[in-house]
Amino acid sequence: MSTTHILVLHGPNLNMLGSREPDHYGHQTLADISKQMIALGDSLNMEISSFQSNHEGELVDRIQQAASGQIDGIVINPAAYTHTSVAIRDALLATDIPFVEVHLSNIHGRETFRHRSLLSDKAIGVIAGFGGTSYLLAIRGMGEFLQPLQQTDQYTTDR
Ligand code: CA2
């Protein structure tokens, strides 16, 4: 089974995870979540790299780089840019790399302006509301999408 490469992108303010607003975003830091994703990736033959930025253009640059690199899938929590960024949407569509949209909180249970995402209609899936576990579910979903029939013991016995 070949290794798949997943890029995880985190939008603005997510570098503050674990320090404030635990009611919405939990107690885990981004480093805690990255560690868990890497461990899960190891068990699923997926290599996980992560990038966080508070700047829209830097996220666009990283998405463009992914297109010229060896990235098979993108997991993205665009944070506030979810609700505003045509630039991030355009970059993702231009790369043609499948992506999963992730949110720590259930955006549909919060303020109305958070209900709209400029990415959801183009994502292979959207996961929201499970705190740091949202990212792990996204990695699993991406794995099933990219490596169909290879992810569980029942399928791997003959491979
Ligand atoms: O629930 C999510 O993951 C969000 O993408 C988080 C964004 C918010 O704008 C989206 O509507 C939903 C906000 C991220 C802010 O992160 C913080 C972390 C710790 C302390 C303060 C903010």
**What are the structural domain ranges in the chain?**
4-151
Q: What is the mean pLDDT of the chain?
A: 92
Query: What is the Å distance from ligand 1's center to 10 Cα?
Result: 10
8 A C-beta contact, residue 71 and residue 5? yes
- For residue 154, pLDDT beyond 50: no
- For residue 155, pLDDT beyond 80: no
More confident residue, 156 or 102: 102
Atom of ligand 1 nearest to the CA of 80: 9
**Residue 26 has what pLDDT?**
82
What is this structure's pTM?
Answer: 0.93
The catalytic site residues sit at 25, 103
- Show the CA angle centred on residue 151, arms to residues 149 and 153, nearest 5°: 95
Band the pLDDT of 30: cuts 50, 70, 90: very high
Query: What is the Å distance from ligand 1's center to 80 Cα?
Result: 7
User: Tell me: domain 4-151, CATH 3.40.50.9100, correct?
Assistant: yes
Reported as half-sphere exposure (CB side, CA atoms, 13 A), residue 113 has a value of: 5
The two structure tokens encoding residue 25: 């975003």
Which residues, listed in sequence order, are joined to residue 8 by a DSSP beta bridge?
A: 50, 75
Place of tokens 């997943």: 6
**Residue 158 has what pLDDT?**
46
**What average pLDDT does range 42-47 have in this prediction?**
96
Closest Cα to atom 22 of ligand 1: 13
Contact residues of ligand 1, CB 6 A cut-off: 13-14, 16-17, 20-21, 25, 77, 79-80, 82, 103-105, 107, 114
Query: What is the Å distance from ligand 1's center to 13 Cα?
Result: 7
